[in-house]
Amino acid sequence: MKKNLLTLSTVLASFQLMYAQAPQIVKESWTEKPAIHQLDTKYAKESAVILLDKRRVEYIDESKTDLAEYYTFHRLIHIIDDRGIASFNRIYLGFNENSDVVDIKARAILPGGKIIELNKNNIKDLKEEDGNTYKIFAMDGLTKGCEVEFYYTFKRPVSFFGSEVVQGAFPVQNASLQLIMPKRLKFDVKTYNGTEVATDTTTTDDKTISQITFKPSEGAEEEKYAYYRSNLKRVEYKLSYNSAQGQNQRLFTWNELAKRVYGIYTDYSDRDTKNVTELVTSKGWDKLSDETQKIIAVENYVKKSYSFNDNIKDPKGNDLENVLKNKVMGTIGAVRLYGAIFQSLGVKYQYVLTGDRTKMVIDKQFENWDNCDNPLLYFPAEGKYISPSRPDYRYPYVMPVWGETAGIFLKGTSIGNFTTAIAEVKNIPLENYDKSYDNIEARLEFNPALDSLTIDNKLIFGGYASVELRDAFNFTNDDQKRNIIKEMIKRVSGTDHILSSEVLNKEFEDNEKPLIVHSKTKSGEFLEKTGNKILIKIGLAIGPQIEMYQEKPRQESIDIDFGHIEQRKLEFVIPAGYTIHNPDDLKIEQVYKDNGELTMGFVSNYDIKDNLLTVNIREEYRKTFYPLSQFDQFKKIINASSDFNKVVLVLEKK
């Protein structure tokens, strides 16, 4: 499983915090004379233990019409070893330079009783590669056995939805979330991933206080083929009622979201409609007889001719007139443009909102609007989708982790001359598993001296498996392209001695064709001579494989981005005068059937005709999710490919 790591660089210049004058909110505090805590022996093998994790979200009336929100985060951590020190010697704050900070404190309590207080001048900017900046401060002088404590309160934009993840890499002893709100407001709360809580709600003359206390939790380790963030224990909350608007009127429902979003996406003028119609006519899309051809032609044109910038949030930048004029758009502008074009073409479609399986997904029973940020367009006649905000995906492929999960389908409905939408929550299926593949076709042949192999190799990618490569081959410079090709070829040949190479069908418009990296190499890495025998490391021809051996019991179910097939056809020309001593080592079979239906497997076999050995391998995963009860079988199949990777054929003279 590939992981993308962000390289962070610290901006040296410190900044001046602007402290807000907060109204009457709850003030956070800590013990004035702290002492080091004695840990239970069960934590002896841990690197750190979070003794206190306290969070508070407070809504207050700043005036008769304005509501404000303040967020407080307070942690106390006991450090055990060097890994613990490395994990907490920099504290990442949940706000940026534009935030109104009410209070911030931090200190280190050393085993001898010395206390090191935070110098606020040591708060720095931390800038990610993508340009986002947030705040950190360094905790100097940490030692084994010390404790780190910090808290901060800041004012943030009002949101009536939230999620708090209360599990991470280290055990948490005491965790709580407090929601404080004017008495007229009522929030609903729901926990996920086995989070156990005790809830206590009290009401004063003007406030409601919900105290949510979490049971202690163990640290969560990252596991192969499991989405880490989405599996952590968490609690979500949302505003559901406001007695000032009626006791029984539920707020922020999926239907209300559908109406609001539909209104935003269809907010363009008659003039915009006229301009779009002219665009449609000029491109000849209305002359295409097949609806699928219209969809493909429109998407290819827009994604090739318009620039997408997710940072464009302002209404003017997403106004359809400006989008058509400047050919630059944000997410809303992109969805508006596609909708207006398909409306002009008479192509029936629905707007869809979805989550992300690696993070948060939509829960039909709990309307957290924060969990459906990703837009799709759905075409009922075809049963297919496009991603307006993803220039790298083409019909019918969308970001795979946005699929195989619930989506909000905006079903248009008319009341007289007024058109709006209602919400339908249902699954977003991905394309069938056999549409996505990562295949190899290779022919290996000795040179006359029998001291190297010529390898003719085709790496063949289709469906979801081809998207990242098309993106790379279209948006990188020539040097980067050469390095990508070199690394890909080296993985399956063991050498960078490339005789020739070419990339076929790399354009986005070719997404229904396989992307092929074809190469010829000369390699001595796959062979070894020992006496009169020649060893052929044929298993290396399928490239490095993941091994799954773990001492600790598996905690999570199995997550895969998309179902797929990996087929490999390896041809090896047996040199004259030699025979293969151990061809049956090529035969491996591990398959799993769920109620009689094959859902995953690895099968390799071979055939020898005259002097040609042909090896056929089929590895497949037909689902994106396998329950924990099937993990052992999943592990056997993953390890079967790793076992084949180690196969060495012995050539003996006849």
CA distances from 12 to 88, 96, 163 (A): 20, 15, 32
Instruction: Say if residue 467 is in the same domain as residue 572.
Output: yes
Query: Could you tell me the CATH number of the domain that includes residue 276?
Result: 3.10.620.30
Instruction: Say if residue 448 is in the same domain as residue 510.
Output: yes
| pLDDT, mean over the chain | 93
Which of 407, 427, 447 is the C-terminal boundary of a domain?
427
Instruction: Say if residue 570 is in the same domain as residue 617.
Output: yes
**The pLDDT value given to residue 4:** 34
Average pLDDT over residues 321-345: 97
Instruction: Say if residue 411 is in the same domain as residue 485.
Output: no
d(CA 334, CA 344): 16
Which of 389, 407, 427 is the C-terminal boundary of a domain?
427
**The pLDDT value given to residue 552:** 86
- Domain assignment present for residue 340? The answer is yes
Report the domain count for the chain: 3
Average pLDDT over residues 51-71: 94
Kindly report which listed range (243-247, 299-303, 477-481, 596-600) carries the lowest average pLDDT score: 243-247
**The pLDDT value given to residue 1:** 34
**The pLDDT value given to residue 101:** 87
- Domain assignment present for residue 220? The answer is yes
**Total Cβ atoms within 10 A of residue 160:** 20
Which of 427, 443, 469 is the C-terminal boundary of a domain?
427
For residue 336, the enclosing domain spans 254-427
**The pLDDT value given to residue 455:** 97
Average pLDDT over residues 413-424: 86
- Domain assignment present for residue 239? The answer is no
Q: Is the pLDDT of residue 581 over 70?
A: yes
Q: What does the DSSP assignment read for 425-447?
A: EEE-PPPPGGG-EEEEEEEEEE-
245: pLDDT confidence band, cut at 50, 70 and 90? confident
**Total Cβ atoms within 10 A of residue 140:** 11
Average pLDDT over residues 307-334: 95
**The pLDDT value given to residue 211:** 97
Task: Give the whole-number percent of the chain exceeding pLDDT 70.
Answer: 95
Q: Is the pLDDT of residue 133 over 80?
A: no
* SS3 of residue 477 by DSSP: coil
pLDDT in tens, 445-493: 999 999 999 999 999 999 999 999 999 999 999 999 999 999 999 999 9
d(CA 402, CA 372): 10
Q: Is the pLDDT of residue 2 over 80?
A: no
d(CA 311, CA 331): 9
Q: Is the pLDDT of residue 99 over 80?
A: no
Instruction: Say if residue 584 is in the same domain as residue 635.
Output: yes
**The pLDDT value given to residue 8:** 25
Instruction: Say if residue 347 is in the same domain as residue 464.
Output: no
Comparing 136 with 366, the larger pLDDT belongs to 366
Kindly report which listed range (416-420, 437-441, 459-463, 520-524) carries the lowest average pLDDT score: 416-420
- Domain assignment present for residue 236? The answer is no
d(CA 355, CA 372): 4
Query: Could you tell me the CATH number of the domain that includes residue 648?
Result: 2.60.120.1130
pLDDT in tens, 192-233: 999 999 999 999 989 999 999 999 999 999 999 999 999 999
Task: Give the whole-number percent of the chain exceeding pLDDT 90.
Answer: 86
Adjacency order of strands within the sheet including 515-523: 498-504, 515-523, 453-462, 437-446, 564-573, 612-621, 597-609, 588-594
Average pLDDT over residues 51-61: 97
- Domain assignment present for residue 292? The answer is yes
Task: Name the nearest CA neighbour of 200 among 178, 222, 183.
Answer: 178
d(CA 117, CA 588): 62
Instruction: Say if residue 421 is in the same domain as residue 466.
Output: no
pLDDT in tens, 26-50: 999 999 999 999 999 999 999 999 9
Query: Could you tell me the CATH number of the domain that includes residue 154?
Result: 2.60.40.3140
d(CA 241, CA 248): 7
- Domain assignment present for residue 606? The answer is yes
- Domain assignment present for residue 647? The answer is yes
d(CA 187, CA 179): 8
**The pLDDT value given to residue 248:** 81
- Domain assignment present for residue 133? The answer is yes
**pTM, entire model:** 0.91
pLDDT in tens, 267-304: 999 999 999 999 999 999 999 999 999 999 999 999 99
Instruction: Say if residue 59 is in the same domain as residue 155.
Output: yes
Q: Is the pLDDT of residue 415 over 80?
A: no
**The pLDDT value given to residue 82:** 97
Average pLDDT over residues 16-31: 71
Q: Are 479 and 451 in contact (CB under 8 A)?
A: no
18: pLDDT confidence band, cut at 50, 70 and 90? very low
pLDDT in tens, 364-396: 999 999 999 999 999 999 999 999 999 999 999
